[in-house]
Amino acid sequence: MPHSSQPLRKLGFLTIGLFDPADPGAGHESTLQIIELGEQLGFDSAWLRHRHLQFGISSPIAIMAAASQRTSRIELGTAVTPMGWENPLRLAEDLATVDLLAGGRINAGLSVGEPMHYGTVKHELYPDSAELEDFSYTRLERLARLVAGQPVREFSGKQGVVEEFSNRVQPHSKGLRERLWYGAASRQSATWAGAHGFNLLSSSVVFAERDQEPVFASIQQDQIRAYREAAAASAQAQGPARVSQGLVVIPTDSATAQQREKYHRYVDERTPRTLAPQGPKGMLFAPDLIGTSDEIAEQLYAHAGFQEVDEVAFALPFSFDHEDYVQILSDIATKLGPALGWAPAATSPARADA
């Protein structure tokens, strides 16, 4: 349980990137520069949100492939890829390919369930099988088997003079299966992840059980403990069970007066949704943490969810400007991280345009 005398082991960040529909290339370039900056600042990981038919990153695997060629150390992840949009076999091929290009630095965060607004897109996504598709955990279990290198079919070997076929997904990237994560928001999904050999991504959204008071931090703590209990008893464990927490933090140490005003306005607009469960499922949002790094560190040490982890991927706010992200990441790496006992990894040479 982290406390003021136990250092934070791994520090990462999560970004949705910037996106202008009239000039989407610029936002993607900004995202790549932010990842480069993260490596220069010593962050351990950078994670990308995954958005379909929205103004955001629709292909984080392609972004990770590009980032893998502009960085050398920082781990790259998705948080999360909704499996309802994916063919597990093709996704396994893409993840393994990019993991090899990155030298084994890919962390695939995943989720299950019917695609958002499925009725509006199923005629294009699955025109011949929309009513037959299985969006349960089975889809994710299939991906895990394929990533692990289990056989796809019996057929393999040479055909003709030059064609040679494999009975498992190619390329195979050893170790990738151990870096599959599940984005859980309920006790049930956290327990499933632990029992099936996935690492756990716990973010700023949770669902309360019927027997729980609607208090975000304590619910998150309960889910993490349930995950670890299931992982400890699982025969499918891939290695040490890792848990990463992802709250929105906005340190203001080096922010300008204009930036601080902008940041507080953003938090004020979002705070009402954190005061009570939202929607029919009782979704609970964590309050954004804003203030000096010392103030945020104090709040984190008092946070029951944070007390259960030794690695985090702090979420960057939506729709800020590039220079805002530079300031926030710089403060996290140079002030908040050290206040939590974290030490930066070895850095890479800086780029002039980052």
pLDDT at 5: 53
Give the Cα separation of 64 and 54 in Å (integer): 19
The pLDDT of residue 323 is: 98
| pLDDT given for residue 208 in this prediction | 87
- Cα-based distances in Å from 196 to 139, 193, 241, 256: 13, 5, 11, 46
For residue 3, pLDDT beyond 60: no
Confidence of residue 198 (pLDDT cuts 50, 70, 90): very high
Pairing assessment for the beta strands 243-245 and 249-251 based on DSSP bridges? unpaired
Tokens of 121: 């897109």
Bridge partners (DSSP) listed for residue 285: 205
Written as one letter, the residue type at 241 is A
Query: Domain map of the chain by residue range?
Result: 10-155+169-339
Strands (E) across 203-245 are located at 205-207, 243-245
pLDDT (tens digit per residue) in 207-217: 988 888 999 99
Q: Rounded to the nearest 5 degrees, what angle is found at the Cα of 218, between the Cα atoms of 213 and 223? A: 105
Residue 165's DSSP bridge partners are 157
pLDDT tens-digit series, residues 5-48 = 578 999 999 999 999 999 999 999 999 999 999 999 999 999 99
Band of pLDDT at residue 4, cut at 50, 70 and 90:
low
* CATH architecture of residue range(s) 10-155+169-339: Alpha-Beta Barrel (3.20)
pLDDT band at 348 (very low <50, low <70, confident <90, very high): very low
Cut 0.75: pTM above it: yes
Distances (CA, A) of 85 to 48, 118, 244, 262: 16, 10, 24, 35
pLDDT, tens only, 67-109? 999 999 999 999 999 999 999 999 999 999 999 999 999 999 9
Residue 254 confidence class, pLDDT cut points 50, 70, 90: very high
